[in-house]
Amino acid sequence: MSDITSQVQFGIFTVSDITQDPTTGHTPSEAERIRATLTIAKHAEEVGLDVFALGEHHNPPFWSSSPTTTLAYIAAQTERLILSTATTLITTNDPVKIAEDFAMLQHVSGGRTDLMLGRGNTGPVYPWFGKDIRQGLPLAIENYALLHKLWREDVVDWEGKFRTPLQGFTATPRPLDGVAPFVWHGSIRTPEIAEQAAYYGDGFFANNIFWPAEHYQRLIGLYRQRYAHYGHGTPEQAIVGIGGQAFLAKNSQDAVTQFRPYFDNAPVYGHGPSLEDFSQMTPLTVGSPQQVIDRYAGMRDLYGDFQRQLFLMDHAGLPLKTVLEQLDILGGEVVPVLRKELAKNRPAEVPDAPTHAGLVRKAYGDGPAREARPRANRGDNLSGPSPYDDTPAPAGAAFGLAGGAR
């Protein structure tokens, strides 16, 4: 089982957009873009990054509708890389299927997986999956209450507002080593999601690539305060991740010249603020490696010590060759320096970045990890609960708007 032991994990995330290259007019096919993403993920490991995270979308121009399928393939092609999501839609996916898919990904990756849960920002996805966008927050809260339970109890009885009840249900496979995947709750703007992350003692990922730092300071500050309120540790011990964007060249003006046409035509923020204005308002940094180092080393001053930094590097029609070159610079010249800078004067009580091996140590100490085995008296998903369930339910399972979950 691979373990990345580091104070801060660095990696990349992709939103899986299929976008025309404004400099050549070429729009990749779905197959071309998918193959390119697999190459990018493998190269991320080769250049020394820790994490590759994949978004979930169900509408063009995005291709990533089944992240766990893609991440399982990448797991087979890599040895050290942590595979995550950015994000998994907790509102429109069935919590039972999430529980099963990510437990399976844990097993096939040897524990190199976690996930980021989010509500998503594409309104039409809700009716496509039979949900009501007006219930977005209640769905997120109730669905995660069930998901959390499914990973921690072998036999589950449950009833809520948004799906059929469960009686004597066992999600399979059980989590690797009896330890649930680490969960990040991702948010751009929603304090209720920060509250949810704090309540469970999970990680909070502030994808701060669109709005000014002051907004995310408030969100992260709320999460830290509530994390301590719920008794998980001090505010400084809360687990924080942040987003980022960069485009690099040896000469900063060359970076601006090369990236400007991609920025100006990007589906998300093209034809809006200027590159210069957007770079001032958000973490987007287009320049030399030293400029990126200085900007991102300063994130600790804004948000406190954090555990994960992910960069968006492969969007807006950038060709594969350019993305791989960007990763060479990021992994070779930027991240090694950032690791050292963010380690300076880091308080000893601030936890390291979460890993499966770390969670196993926390759960069992020096003892053996639990390994699930079928038993005759185990719940069979047909005849009801069994005495096999010896794990107590988590305290406060009726958090927030979890409805009648029990």
| DSSP string of 255-295, one letter each residue | HHHHHHHHHHH-TTTTTSS-HHHHHHHSS-EEE-HHHHHHH
Lowest mean pLDDT among 155-159, 294-298, 374-378: 374-378
Considering the chain, what percentage of its residues have pLDDT values greater than 90? 73
* Cα angle, residue 155 at apex, residues 150 and 160 outer, rounded to 5°: 55
Mean pLDDT of 20-29: 96
296, 283 in Cβ contact below 8 A? yes
- Summarize the confidence of residues 201-220 as an average pLDDT: 91
pLDDT digits over 314-372, tens only? 999 999 999 999 999 999 999 999 999 999 999 999 999 999 999 999 999 988 888 88
- Is the CATH number 3.40.50.180 carried by domain 9-364? no
Q: What is the structure's pLDDT at 397?
A: 38
pLDDT(375) > 80: no
Task: Name residue 167's amino acid.
Answer: Q
Classify 169 as helix, strand or coil. Answer: strand
Question: What is the band of 91 on the pLDDT scale with cuts at 50, 70, 90?
Answer: confident
| pTM as predicted | 0.90
For residue 376, the model assigns a pLDDT of 42
pLDDT value at residue 282? 93
Q: What are 228-264's pLDDT values in tens digits?
A: 999 999 999 999 999 999 999 999 999 999 999 999 9
Mean pLDDT within 374-399: 46
Domain range annotation of the chain:
9-364
Q: What integer pLDDT is reported at residue 403 of this predicted model?
A: 35
- Mean of pLDDT over the chain: 89
Question: Which among 165, 123, 202 has a CA at the least distance from the CA of 399?
Answer: 202
Q: How confident is the model at residue 405 (pLDDT cuts 50, 70, 90)?
A: very low
